[in-house]
Structures are given as structure tokens and as C-alpha cells.
Structure 1
Amino acid sequence: MENVQYARTAEQIAACWLPIQALRPHLDAATFVQVIQEMMETGYQLIYIADAGKPVAIAGFREEHKLVSGKTIYIDDLSTLASHRGRGLGGRLLDFIHTLARQQGKDGVYLDSGHQRHDAHRLYLNKGYTITAHHFTNKNL
């Protein structure tokens, strides 16, 4: 396994498609790179761990500053290919983000997780996260 790397070029972003698709199956492969690049214009960063040169685990995150939480890092996406789960890759990506947050003097790291993702919840709880809120969505606009 390789060390954590940033995906910055179109080619690096495109190589992260499979682990992202595992988490976000609704995305369109044809527009994926463009969407990530647009998100990067507003601060989104994408990191990955590769096996044999191919990304197998990814994390997407951004810096935020809010009244409720202060200066934080918010993790939008965290995913490992099913074939590579149970090897600590998600934990390595979280550790990388936690170190970055400490180095930058952040007040914390936040994320949301689907209620059905029990294995992910176990990881988050083992990494010191607590369940502090309910997330509400209204798409009937």
C-alpha cells in the first residue's frame, strides 16, 4: 500500500472513480472529474491510498468556519473498495486528516454518515467521534 496522496490532476481524480462510486453510486462517470474540479474551486480536497498504483481508498474534505463548531475540517466522503476493507485504510485516511487539523489549529473534524453504515460508525467511534446531532434534509424545494 502506498502512502496518502492528494488527487489534484484530472488523471489522479479520474483514478479515484471506483472507490468514490462505491460510496456514491448515483454519480455519473462522464461528469465525475468536472464535478470534483468544480468542488475543488471552493476548497474540496481529495486524498487517496493506492494499491499497485490504483486508488483503493479515498477521502474528500474541506475546511469550514462556522459559529456552531469553529474552525474545522468537514469530511464529505470516505470510502474504501470492498476488496480492501478491514485493512485499516479508512483509519489511515482519518489519521491523516486529524493530523492536518491539528497542524492547522482546527477545533475539530466533522462528518455525516448514513444511518445504515454500521461498519463505518464503528470506525468513527473507535477514532473518538461522538454522535452529536441529527442531519435533516429537505429536497422538496
Structure 2
Amino acid sequence: MTIRELDDFTPAYPVLRELRPNLGSLEDFLAQAKQQRGQGYRMIAAFDGGEVAAVAGFRSGLCFAWGHHIYVDDLVTAPSARRKGHAAALLAWIDEEALRLGADQVHLDSGTHRHEAHRRYLTSGFAISSFHFTKA
């Protein structure tokens, strides 16, 4: 397994669609990725045999509640690559990047139905610290 930061998000598109089926076309995805990148969004991928097995998108931020932090927007493993340590490796890479950047915390939100993901987060040292509320 190899982890590297992506300059071109194209190889991540099929895997990220597993988590975000509403992404639309590759062109739409890349246009939005360009906007998000302008706001500090970065993406890393775990490669297995030259193929993208898992991806994580994140950004660095500063706020009164959390101080300097990393926020993980997206984390997903291709169904065929699950239970092989890819997500754990991506989270460990993000932990190292947080240390390198001087961030005090790493945060993420996860859908309430994603029980297997929750096990991964808890095993990786995350705690359930709050509820996230939304209003459309």
C-alpha cells in the first residue's frame, strides 16, 4: 500500500462516488474540486497495486471552538478494498500531517447509519464529542 497526496483528483472519482453518489459527472466533480481546493481542500489516496483503494479529503482550519485543526470532509474505501487497513493508514497519515502543520485536533462528521466507519474512527482514537445539526 502506498499513500500519496493527489494533484489530480481524477483517479479518486470512482471511489469517492461510493460515499458521495450525488457527485454528478467527472467534469462537475473536477470543477467543484477546483473550487474546494481554492478553499484549502486537499486529497490523499491509498493505492493498492496501482489502483486507488481509498481516499480522504481534508482541510486545515482555525476556529474558536477547536483552535487550529484538520477537518476530514471525505473518507471512503472502495468496496473491494475494505478491511485491508486503507482507512486506518489514511487516518494515520492525516494525524502526521496535523502534527506537521501544528494542528491541535482532527475532526470529522459521519452519518449515523455508518456503523462500520464509526468502529474505524473509534479504533483510530476518535471520540464522539457532539451532535451535528443541519437545517435545509
Taking structure 2 as the reference length, the TM-score comes to 0.96
Q: CA deviation at 1:51?
A: 2.2
Query: What residue number does 2:74 align with?
Result: 77
The gaps in structure 2 that reach 5 residues or longer are none
Among all aligned residue pairs of Structure 1 and Structure 2, give the percentage whose two residues are the same amino acid: 36
> Are 1:5 and 2:4 matched, yes or no?
yes
The gaps in structure 1 that reach 5 residues or longer are none
Query: What residue number does 1:67 align with?
Result: 64
Equivalent position to 2:124, from 115, 122, 127: 127
Query: What residue number does 2:114 align with?
Result: 117
Task: Provide the C-alpha distance between the structure 2 equivalents of 1:138 and 1:61, rounded to a whole number of angstroms.
Answer: 23
Deviations 1:24-83 (A, max 9, x none): 011112311111111001100010012232212000000010100000000000000010
Query: What residue number does 1:21 align with?
Result: 17
Task: Provide the C-alpha distance between the structure 2 equivalents of 1:34 and 1:57, rounded to a whole number of angstroms.
Answer: 21
State the SS of the aligned residue for 2:22: coil
Task: Provide the C-alpha distance between the structure 2 equivalents of 1:31 and 1:123, rounded to a whole number of angstroms.
Answer: 30
Query: What residue number does 2:89 align with?
Result: 92
Alpha-carbon RMSD across the aligned residues, in angstroms, is: 0.9
Q: CA deviation at 1:105?
A: 1.6
Q: CA deviation at 1:6?
A: 1.1
Aligned residues: 135
Output the amino acid matched with 1:23: L
As a proportion of its length, which structure holds more helix? 2
Task: Provide the C-alpha distance between the structure 2 equivalents of 1:19 and 1:4, rounded to a whole number of angstroms.
Answer: 15
Query: What residue number does 1:108 align with?
Result: 105
